[in-house]
Amino acid sequence: MNVKTNTLQVVHTIEQLRRLLDSMDRSSSTVGFVPTMGYLHEGHLELVKQAKMQNDLVVMSIFVNPTQFGPGEDFESYPRDLNRDSKLAEEAGVDIIFAPSVVEMYPNDGGIRILPGPQANKLCGASRPGHFDGVLQVVLKLFNIVAPDRSYFGMKDAQQLALIETFVRDYNIPTTIVRVPIVRENDGLAKSSRNVNLTSKERQEAPVIYQALQKGIDWLLESVSPEEVERRIAEFITSTSSGAIDYVQVLDYPSLGPVTEETNEMIIACAIKFSTTRLIDNIIMSTKGGYNVSNDDEQ
């Protein structure tokens, strides 16, 4: 590799980023890409760790993308702190941060849209119309700008990951998607930039989400039906916390279709709304042990 940054470089324009990347010999070096919306936590830093192990240079984007937020969602209040993020990224070994403005990313609007397939109509997509249109829009732009060899996504956003893997496959986008497992707090709560918005009481209650998902695994292994597992998880969360259920679903992964006899992996996924904060979490389990989807709800 011809260029290796000794210290973190933060750039704000596409031209600046491309100039840095064009100075590399891409025939003998690789770029790992970690897309984020900032306010970094250990989950993001685990993505960086994986990218550093597998690539010569690591690029992180920090961009709160307005096109994936719907009316009334938390675009304005989403936490932002580039100075804090830059320090954490530099300590983790990021070489370049790309932190564009909204105008830099969306200077024009020609009206062309990306429409996700049926995977987008489940889970978060069912209650956030247009969300994944915006996700795929910004991801495609970032892939075109960075041209990464590998791109790193956390399993916490499992629906997003499934859509991006499908998008990359179906449209021959020249990057390899690397899945990185969920990073959790000691009490099981999935790391999220939104956790800072929980009240102290809500933060104490939030680990019930992961506890419920673990119970869901146990029930599935006992051959309880997916529908009954969904009901039990929802009941457990609402009876032990102030969280309101957005969804609890047990689906085939990564198709996000119904569980069938042909299912090799299942996802138990949920979204829970506290007063001002919506949290998502999931567990993916293998069905190779012979899960029987035909057993009745009473088992």
What are the tens digits of pLDDT across the range 167-211?
A: 999 999 999 999 999 999 999 999 988 899 999 999 999 999 999
Task: Quote the tokens at residue 263.
Answer: 């299912």
pLDDT of amino acid 166: 93
Sequence-distant (6+) residues with CB within 8 A of 286 are 264, 265
Percent of the chain with pLDDT over 70: 94
For position 74, what pLDDT does the model report? Answer: 87
- Percentage of the chain exceeding pLDDT 90: 83
Residue 299 confidence (pLDDT): 30
Whole-number pLDDT of residue 1 = 39
pLDDT, position 28: 87
Could you give the residue numbers annotated as active site?
A: 44
Residues 19, 121, single domain; the answer is yes
Whether the predicted pLDDT of 238 surpasses 70: yes
CA separation for the pair 126, 23 (Å, rounded): 43
With beta carbons less than 8 A apart as the criterion, state whether 109 and 50 touch.
no
Output the domain CATH number for residue 223. 3.30.1300.10
Does residue 98 have a pLDDT over 50? yes
Is 11 a residue whose pLDDT tops 60?
yes
Residues 14 and 53 grouped into a single domain: yes
Structurally, the chain folds into a number of domains equal to: 2
Q: Is 237 inside any structural domain? A: yes
Annotated binding site for (R)-pantoate: 68, 160
Q: What is the pLDDT of residue 291?
A: 52
Report if residue 290 sits inside a domain: no
- Flag whether 149 is in a domain: yes
Residue 295: predicted pLDDT: 39
Band of residue 6 on the pLDDT scale cut at 50, 70, 90: low
- pTM of the full structure: 0.85
Binding residues for ATP, by number, are 37-44, 154-157, 183, 191-194
Other CB atoms within 10 Å distance of the CB of residue 67: 20
Residues 36 and 167 in one domain: yes
Give the HSE-up count for residue 30: Cα atoms under 13 Å, Cβ half-sphere: 13
Looking at the fold, whether 259 and 111 belong to one and the same domain comes out as no
Mean local confidence (pLDDT), 10-38: 95
Q: Tens digit of pLDDT for each residue in 265-290?
A: 999 999 999 999 999 999 999 987 54
Statement: residue 245 has pLDDT above 90: yes
pLDDT of residue 128: 86
Mean pLDDT estimate for the chain: 92
Annotated binding site: 37-44, 68, 154-157, 160, 183, 191-194
23 with 133, same domain?
Answer: yes
User: Strands 96-98, 57-62: parallel, antiparallel or unpaired by DSSP?
Assistant: parallel
Confirm whether 292 is domain-assigned: no
The answer to whether 79 touches 66, Cβ cutoff 8 Å, is: no
Dihedral, CA of residue 125, residue 131, residue 136 and residue 141, to nearest 10: -170
Q: Residue ranges for the binding site for beta-alanine?
A: 68
pLDDT at 13: 98
Domain coverage including residue 256: 193-285
115 and 39 belong to one structural domain? yes
Mean pLDDT of 244-263: 94
pLDDT band at 296 (very low <50, low <70, confident <90, very high): very low
